[in-house]
Structure formats: structure tokens, C-alpha cells
Amino acid sequence: MHQGGVILEGKRVLEIGSGWAPVMPYFMLYQGKAKSVATFDLNRHFSKKNTERLNEVFIEEYAIHVAPELSNTYKLPKNINYHPETDLTKVDLPETEIVFSRFVLEHVKPEDILKMHIKFKEELKPGATIVHLISPSDHRAYVDNNLSLQDFLKFGKTQWQKKQSKFDYHNRLRLPEYLSIFKAAGLEVKHVEYENPKPGSEALKKFRKIKLHEDYKVYTEVELTAGSINIVLKV
């Protein structure tokens, strides 16, 4: 199995953002044949009930028998280590060859993204790979079809802070800003891919109706609308 063109087999993986169940760690371990997965989250969402249900799904859907450790509170298998309520910038990192995040970085403050990647640069061995899948769109548009996926770019920082809650923080970073942060941390950008609205599409028409805030007028239309961003970095 490959993730972002990266071979997982035999590798030790660190996941940023565990979510509600160890779905990605299971795929990495059982289909990608990763050696181990350490998953970190600022919150504590895993539960025995959710994990047991996921174990059943893997048997039913993939014919994969998950053997949970009997002593594990969340009934996780041996090679998945859950670190809830943990800021990974403040702890020693486990030995890691691959760092992975899926739809997480857009919910992290820019200064914390930089801090995190400086830590990766300083503590991971040269050659380690970092893979990020980023959804930089205005998530309100997923429940309101009238909104553009870039609607939040019409607000200044103060306005946006009043509109979003601390439970659904979105940094609104555009593609060049992410790349600038990674380069500032001393990481090599190996691969970047993203999607843009197709010419004449409804998505592009909605974007062009937005009165952009001055903060975003320095970017091109392609940079502003870049979505489904996949980035591979090297330490």
C-alpha cells in the first residue's frame, strides 16, 4: 500500500490527529503492513465500544481479523499506540520513519504548525517522510450549498474570529502559506498536488462572486482555490 507515493511496509508511522476511531492506523497496519502506528491527539475520543465495532467491520468487510490486546483500555492491537490529550510538540517523539495527517492541519494554528515541523526536523532522522492531506476549504459550505468553498476569505482576521468557534477552528491558510511554513522549518518539499475548480464550473462562479479581503488579494486565483492538497515532505 502507498500513501502519497510513500511505501508504508515495515515503517514506523506517527499519525497527527487520531479522531474518533483508529481507522487510518488499521489500514496502515493491516493493508499497508506498517510496523507500528503511534497516533497523537489533543483530545480523547477513542472508546472501547467504537474500537470493537471497527474490529467487526474489518472482519466483515476486509476479512482481516484484528487481535486486540486484552489489557488495552481501548481494545487496540499491539502495534497501535494511542496518545490522547497529548501535545506532540511537548513530548519526546517515538522512533518514526513516516509522519501522516489527514484533514488535520487546517484546524491547527499556523504558529503551532511551524513549531511541530521544526520539532520533526530536529528530532526525526534524516530521510524521514511527512505526508499531509489538507482540506483548506470553508467547511460551512459542506452544509450550506449557497456558500463558496472559499467564502471565509472575504473576512478579516477579527471578523473571522467572531464567526468561528474554538471547537471548529480553521486557520484559512492558502497553499503558498503552508509551503512557506514547511520551508521555514527546514523541510524539503518533495511533492505537491491539489485540485482547482474547473473552468465554467459552479464552484468557480461562486468563488468569483466573493469580495476578497485585502489579506488574500496577494494570491492568484489558482492559489486561493487550491483544494484537496496533498503534500510530501522530507526531513
**Who has greater pLDDT, 168 or 179?**
179
Mean pLDDT, the chain, as a whole number?
94
Dump pLDDT digits (tens) for 41-77.
999 999 999 999 999 999 999 999 999 999 999 999 9
CB-based burial, 24-35: b 16+ in 10 Å, e otherwise: bbbbbbbebebe
Domains recognised in the chain with CATH numbers: 2-234 (3.40.50.150)
> Is pLDDT larger for residue 123 or for residue 168?
123
- 175-184 and 110-123 helices, crossing angle to 10°: 40
Q: What is the DSSP string of 60-89?
A: HHH-----B-TT-TT--BTTEEEE-S--GG
Q: In this structure, how many other beta carbons lie within 10 angstroms of the beta carbon of residue 41?
A: 21
The angle formed by the CA atoms of residues 213, 217 and 222, to the nearest 5 degrees, is: 120
